[in-house]
Amino acid sequence: MPTLSFLRPSGRLRLAIQAALTIFCLYAGYLFYRHVLWLGGGTEIFTPKPPSVEAFLPISALMAAKRFFLTGQWDSVHPAGLTLFLAFLLMEVALRKGFCGYICPVGFISSMVERLGRKLKTGRETGPLATRLFTIPKYVILCGFLWFIVIGMDVRFIESFLSARYNLVADASMLHFFLSPSLTTILVVAALLVLSLFIRNAWCRFLCPYGALLGLFAIFSPIAVNREKDTCIACGKCRKACPSGIRVDEKQRVNSPECIGCAACLEACPVEGCLTMRAGSKAIPFKAVGISCVALLLAVYAWALATGHWTSEIPADMLRRVYMMQFGQ
């Protein structure tokens, strides 16, 4: 595994934030496991559900978001899921796809595999045409979800789904999926990990529909890497350093939906001032994106906690009965 000395300052900051949040997710997952154990009668010691696990229910959150924008009604079943979903969208618009670059635990795993591939010298970059073709699947999947939910579902159907037994314990179903994966799931995950050793960040760049959605919002971000073409020496080091494989040396303003604001290209550039991170016309330090992502997440959490948009209103005993019915226990 690559050591911290292998990374530049921007990489160390990104790794530190990603690692801390991944550890938090694992801890929340453990608490949720204890909660589900209580739901199923495996223990009589009650552990409250950590609402943050609802971040792993983006489809339910997308439905809840549509209902909210049409009716003004916040989701009472998975309120933290909707809160985090909207926070991530805001984060992308404000902070250049910062969720993918600094927050997502899957992105953290992908980053570590990508760095390992660089150290083993197995990583290869795809050409422009191949990159465009490989990017199509995640947008096809995203379009399917958007068509089915945003266009195809009316409010009545969404409300019926959100209050259905399946959605009430959807997070528990998600936990069962992770704890007891099928052989197919194991093989697919293993294949993606191996693929990422050869094609940098294969899942994030080419297959993740959530990242595709967030990337479309990131296009509207005022923050972007800018290149001074008059001082650029076309060495290609910025392109090689970019974990998303963006051809930075061919752009004046990097407004690609794949840019995660990691600043790796800035530190790889040998010409001082050639590449800069800018918010509009103002230059900002590379660490601003990562730190601001964490600050925004904490601010949204504090707001949700203070306004009742974080914890579900569904009584724990009711969830226990629903869980028993859903899983036949």
Supply 27's token pair.
Answer: 């801890």
For residue 102, the number of C-alpha atoms closer than 13 Å in the C-beta half-sphere is 30
Instruction: Check residue 8 and give its pLDDT.
Output: 66
In the chain the first and final C-alpha atoms are separated, in Å, by: 43
* Plot region of 208 (φ>0 → left; ψ -120 to 50 → alpha; else → beta): beta
Q: What gap in Å lies between CA 133 and CA 272, rounded to an integer? A: 34
Query: Mind listing the pLDDT tens digit of every residue in the chain (329 residues)?
Result: 444 434 567 678 888 999 999 999 999 999 999 999 999 999 999 999 999 999 999 999 999 999 999 999 999 999 999 999 999 999 999 999 999 989 999 989 988 888 888 888 887 888 888 888 999 999 999 999 999 999 999 999 999 999 999 999 999 999 999 999 999 999 999 999 999 899 888 999 999 999 999 999 999 999 999 999 999 999 999 998 898 889 999 999 999 999 998 888 998 999 999 999 999 889 999 889 999 999 999 999 999 999 999 999 899 999 999 999 998 76
